[in-house]
Chain A
Amino acid sequence: MPPRLHANSVPASIIPCPSVRSQSAQTFRQCREFSQSSCRRETLRRREMYAWLNGPGAALKNPLPGSTNYLGAYDKYGNLWRARPGWTPKKLDEEKEETKEEPKSDEEKDASSEGQEPADELEMSVRRDEERKQKSVAKAEKDDELPPERLEDLRPFPLNKYFRSQSVLSEELREAIYQRVVNEGASVSLASVEFGVSNERVGAVVRLKQLEKQYIAEGKTLAVPYAKAVLEMVPKTPYIDPKLPENKGKRPVQHESINDLIVHPATRQQLFVPVSESREFTRVDAGKAFDNNLLPADERIPHPELVTAERELAAGLSFAERTRLAQQRLQKENERKQKIEAKKQEELKKLRTVPGRRWDFVFQDISVENAGKDGRNDKGVGWRYGLPHEDRKKGQVKIPTKVEA
C-alpha cells in the first residue's frame, strides 16, 4: 500500500486533485481536517433550500386563515397570484411588502388559466358567489380581504394541470344529509339528488356520522382540533339551508356530478358499423353494436329515474298523471326490495344455530360437489383426503382481499 499523503503537509502544487486546488481558504476551514473532498456543493444546495424556505416558501409554512394554501397559488417570488399588490397576510411582517410590489408577469398568468374546464366553471362561480356573499356579510368594512380562490389556485402540484384540490363536504352539509336520511327517512338516491352528492357519498356520510355519534355516546375523545384545522385548509362545499329566510329561492350547491357514466371497456375501441340510411340508429343500437350485453347510457347512469321523469315531462303529461306513474314506480321498487329481503330471511332460516358458551355454532347445508373437479374450488369445505393445503407454499399471498362490514 502506498503511503498516504496528508493534504496539509504536502504543498498544493503537487496534488493533482482539482477539487482541492480550487477551494478557497474559507471552505477549507469548513471541511474536517482529514477530509480530502470538498463539501462546498452540498452546502450550497442546502443553503439554497433554506433560502427558498425562508423566502418564497415561508408563506406555505402556516395555513392561510380562511383560505387554502397551495403551491400553485404562488408565483416564484412567493406572492399570491390572486392577491392585490398591497396585500399581506396578517401574520407576516412589513419587510415582505417590498417583494409584493413587483408586477406580475402576464405570460405566466395566461399559461396558468389554460387548464380550466368549462364544466366546473359554473359550479365554481356559484360557490365563489356564495363565499363572497358570506364574507361580505360578515366583514363588510374589511378591504384587505383576500379574494376567493380561482381554479388555478387550487393546484397543489403546479406541474400537473389535470389535478386540483376538489372541495369536501362542510360539517353542516354532512349533518344535513344525515338528518335527511336517518331522521326524515329519505332514500339515498333522493338525498343524492337533493344535495347534489353522489349515491355512494351519501351512504358514506351517513355511516361516518353514525360512527361519530356512537363515539360521542361512548364518551370517546374525538380529534376536534385536527378536524377544525383540516377543514380550514381544504376547499369546502357550503350548505344552503332552505329553511332560513335569507336562502329563499336559492338552489343547493352541487357538490359533484351525480350522473357519472363509467366508460365501458367495450366502448374503448373504434367501431365501423354499416347501417342502412333509412334506419334510426339510437343509443340502444350503439350499445348492442359494441357489446351484446351493453345497456344504453340512460339505464347505466346512477339516477335513471331522473331520465324517466324528464321524459314524462317532455311528453307533456299532466302533473297528476306524472305523480301516478311515479307512485307506481315507487311501489314496484318497494316490492322488489321486499322480495330481496324475504329471500335473505329465507336463507337465514335455513341455518341452524346452536348457542354455545362462548360461541354460537351455525350449521349450513353444504354440497360435496362444491369442491369442483380438481377439489380446489373456493366453495369446497373441509379436509379432502389426498389434497394437501397450499397455504404454506411459497408465493401464496395471505393478505385478505375483502373484509366483511
Chain B
Amino acid sequence: MRKKARFHSLKKIKVRQDWSRWTLYNLSRLKPPNLASKTYFQQKWTAKSDTRAYHGEQVREKQWKRMFRRNLPAVVSMNYQYLARYDGSEQAAGRGAGADTTPGKDNRPENPPRTPYMQMAYYPLERRLDTAIFRALFSSSVRQARQFVVHGLVKVNGKKMVYPGYMLNPGDMFQVEPESVMFATGAPKHQSGRARRTERSLAQKRAEEREGKILKSMAPTKVPLLAEEAAAAPPDAKSDAPPTEKELKKNLQSLMEEADAALAEDVGAKDKQKLRDFRKAVRKALSLWRSSSTTTTLATLEQQLSFLKSQFASKNPSPPSLSTSGADPSPTTPSPDSETSLSPEQQTKLAAAFKRLKEEAEYTFKWGKRDPTKPYATPWRPRDYMSAFAFIPRYLEVNQKVCAAVYLRHPVARPGLAEVPTPFGYETGQLAFNWYLKRR
C-alpha cells in the first residue's frame, strides 16, 4: 500500500482546517494556481485536491459526492423603502429592461458587486456538526471537534449527539463541554521537557526569594523588640512608640478598605493598576503581620497611599468620600454615611463600579491562579496563533460563556461576499465546483 501523505506537509502546500503553525505558514505561502501550463482536467484536479484537503478532509470522497449540491444558496438584501415606493414596473419600462437612467439615482446602486457563487461549492459540509463546532471556535481543528462529538462531549438541542456527521438543521443549538473547549483552545500545559525544567527552576528561584524576604523581614524585627525590652534605647525614627500587633493589623485593614474604596471610584486604568499593586502589597503585609512587626512596611504603604490619593485628587477634583469596602456583599446599597453626599447619578456609577470590582475580584479568584488539576496551562490563555484563525461566520450565533451556539441558517452567498470560509481564490473554487459537476 502507498504510504499515506504527511498531514502537514511543507513540500506540497495543503491548508488544513486547524489552528496550527503549519497551517498558518502554508496559508501565507498559498499562491493563486498556475493555470497556463495545465490542461483543463489538470486544473480541475489540482483545484479539487487542494480544496478537499481543507474542506471535509475527514469525510470520504464518496460521502462528499453524495452531499454535493449544484444549487448554491444566495440572498439579496432588499431595501424596504424601495419596495414600498416602486412596484417593479419601472424595471420593465422602455424596451423591457428599464428606462435609461443616470446611475446612482433613485436609490439604485450603480453596479452591484457580483455574487461569488463559486466560493460556496462546499457549503453542505458547513452543515456537519464537527465543522460547525470548529467554526464556532470551540475546538482547534475539525478532527478535534470530531473527537469531542464521538466522546460524547457535545449536545444538540440538549441531547447527547455522538455522530460527527449529523447535519445541523436551521435553529439547532449545540453545546460543547466548557472544560473541553478551554482545553482545546487554551495554551498547552507543557510544551517540552525543557519548558518544564525552566518553569521548575523559576519556581524554585521564586520560593528562595520569598524565603529570603521573610528572613530579611525577620532579622530587623528582633532588634527593636529587644530594644523595647531594654527600654533604654531611643524610639524608632518613624513612630515614637512601637505599635502593638493588634493596632498594626487594624491599621493595615483600614488601609485596605481605603484602597478598596478608591478602587471603586471611576479612576483611570493606570491609577487602578497602581492601586491594585498597592492592595496586593497590603494583603501581603496583612498575611505577614503575625510573623513579624511591619512598622517599616506600614509606613511606606501609608506614604504610597497618600501619594496615590493626591494624584487622582488632582485628576478628578471632587472624588466622593467613601468608607465602604470593596468586598461588600450588597453593592447596590451604599453605606448610610456616603448616601448623604452622593447624587443618584453618582450612586448608579458607584454601584456599577462596585459590581465591576466584585466581578473582577471573583474572576481573579477563580481564574487567576495556577491549577495543576486542569489539562491546560493555568491561568488560562489562548493558544498560539489562535487570533489569526479567530472568526465566527454569520450563520452561527455563539455564546462563548456557555460554549453553546445556534446554527441559524445555511451559509449563503450575497453580493460581494460568500459565507463559506475557504482559503482559496475564486478560480480555484470555480474549478473545484466544475469537477463535481461530473462533466469531465
Report A's interface with B, CB cutoff 8 A. 42, 45-46, 49, 52-53, 56-57, 60-64, 68-71, 76, 115, 117-120, 156-166, 168-169, 174, 198, 200-201, 203-205, 207-209, 211-212, 215, 221-227, 229-231, 233-234, 256-257, 259-263, 265, 268, 275, 280-284, 286, 296-298, 301, 303, 306-308, 310-311, 313-314, 399-405
- Taken residue by residue from 179 to 218, chain B's Cβ proximity to chain A (1 for < 8 Å, 0 otherwise) reads as 1011001100000000000000000000000000000000
A399 in contact with B387 given A160-B424, A226-B181 (CB within 8 Å): no
Assess whether B83 is in contact with A160, with CB atoms less than 8 Å apart.
no
User: Which residues from B are CB-within-8-Å of A303?
Assistant: 80
> Quick one: given A163-B418, A164-B417, A200-B408, are A306 and B389 in contact (CB under 8 Å)?
no
Contacting B75 at CB < 8 Å: which of A64, A261, A310? A261
Q: How far is the CB of B66 from chain A (nearest CB, A)?
A: 10
What 0/1 pattern do residues 385 to 399 of B give for CB contact below 8 A with A?
111111111100111
Q: Which residue of B lies closest to A402 (CB)?
A: B169
Chain B residues with a Cβ closer than 8 Å to the other chain, count? 100
A57-B25, A201-B408, A227-B400 known; A259 and B390 CB under 8 Å?
no
B381 within 8 A of partner (CB): yes
The one of B28, B178, B414 that contacts A226, using a Cβ cutoff of 8 Å: B178
Distance between Cα atoms of A223 and B182 in the complex (Å) = 7
CA distance A401 to B338 in the complex (A): 61
Closest to B172 in A: A403
B400 near A280: Cβ-Cβ < 8 Å: no
A405 touches B157 (CB 8 A): yes
Are A234 and B402 touching (Cβ within 8 A)? no
Q: CB-CB < 8 A to A286: which residues of B?
A: 88, 92
Most-contacted residue by chain A among B109, B112, B173 (CB, 10 A): B173
Say whether B37 faces chain A, with CB atoms less than 8 Å apart: no
Q: Is B76 a contact of A226 with CB atoms below 8 Å? A: no
Chain B residue at minimum C-beta to C-beta distance from A214: B402
- The yes or no answer to B167 lying at the interface (CB within 8 A) is yes
**Contact yes or no, A230 B28, CB < 8 A:** no
Inter-chain pairs besides A63-B382, A160-B119, A223-B403, 10 sampled, C-beta below 8 Å: A49-B22, A63-B390, A69-B390, A156-B421, A211-B173, A226-B186, A229-B381, A260-B78, A260-B414, A399-B167
Selected from B71, B85, B159, B382, the residue in CB contact (under 8 A) with A229 is B382
What are 17 A-to-B residue pairs whose CB atoms are below 8 Å?
A46-B10, A49-B10, A118-B109, A165-B390, A225-B363, A230-B382, A233-B387, A233-B390, A234-B391, A256-B394, A275-B92, A283-B87, A284-B88, A286-B88, A297-B78, A306-B80, A307-B84
Asked if B159 and A403 make an inter-chain contact with CB atoms under 8 angstroms apart, the answer reads: yes
Give 5 closest A-B pairs by Cβ, nearest first.
A283-B88, A117-B416, A165-B391, A310-B84, A227-B400
Interchain CB contact under 8 A, B385 and A211: no
Residues of B within 8 A of A70 (CB): 387-388, 391
Known: A163-B417, A212-B399, A399-B163. A156 touches B404 (CB 8 A): no
Q: Is the CB of B404 within 8 A of A208?
A: yes
**For the complex, is B32 an interface residue (Cβ under 8 Å from A)?**
yes
A404, B157: Cβ atoms closer than 8 Å? yes
| B residues in contact with A268, CB < 8 Å | 71
The answer to whether residues A211 and B399 also contact, given A222-B178, A223-B181, A283-B87 and a CB cut-off of 8 A, is: yes
Does B331 reach chain A (CB closer than 8 Å)? no
Contact B399 A262 (CB under 8 A): no
B81 within 8 A of A: yes
**Smallest Cβ distance from B177 to chain A, in angstroms?**
10
Among A164, A230, A233, A314, contact of B85 (Cβ-Cβ < 8 Å): A314
Contact status A159-B84, CB under 8 Å: no
Question: Which has the most chain A C-beta neighbours within 10 Å: B367, B379, B416?
Answer: B416
Cβ contacts under 8 Å, A201 to chain B: 397, 408
| Interface bits B226-261 vs A (CB < 8 Å: 1, else 0) | 000000000000000000000000000000000000
Question: Cβ of B137 < 8 Å from any Cβ of A?
Answer: yes
Given known contacts A162-B116, A234-B390, A297-B83, A222 and B402 CB-to-CB distance under 8 angstroms? yes
When A163-B417, A200-B171, A262-B75 are in contact, do A69 and B388 touch as well, CB less than 8 Å? yes
Which residues from A are CB-within-8-Å of B391?
70, 156, 165-166, 234
- Flag if B88 contacts A61 (CB, 8 Å): no
Smallest Cβ distance from B15 to chain A, in angstroms? Answer: 9
* Contact between chains at A263 and B76 (CB < 8 Å): yes
* Contact A168/B392 with A117-B417, A163-B418, A262-B75 known, Cβ cut-off 8 Å: yes
For A223, A234, A399, the residue with the greatest tally of chain B CB atoms inside 10 Å of its CB is A223
Residue in A63, A76, A301, A405 whose CB lies within 8 Å of B173: A405
Instruction: Give the distance in Å from the alpha carbon of A168 to the alpha carbon of B32 in the complex.
Output: 30
Q: Are A211 and B402 in contact (CB under 8 A)?
A: yes
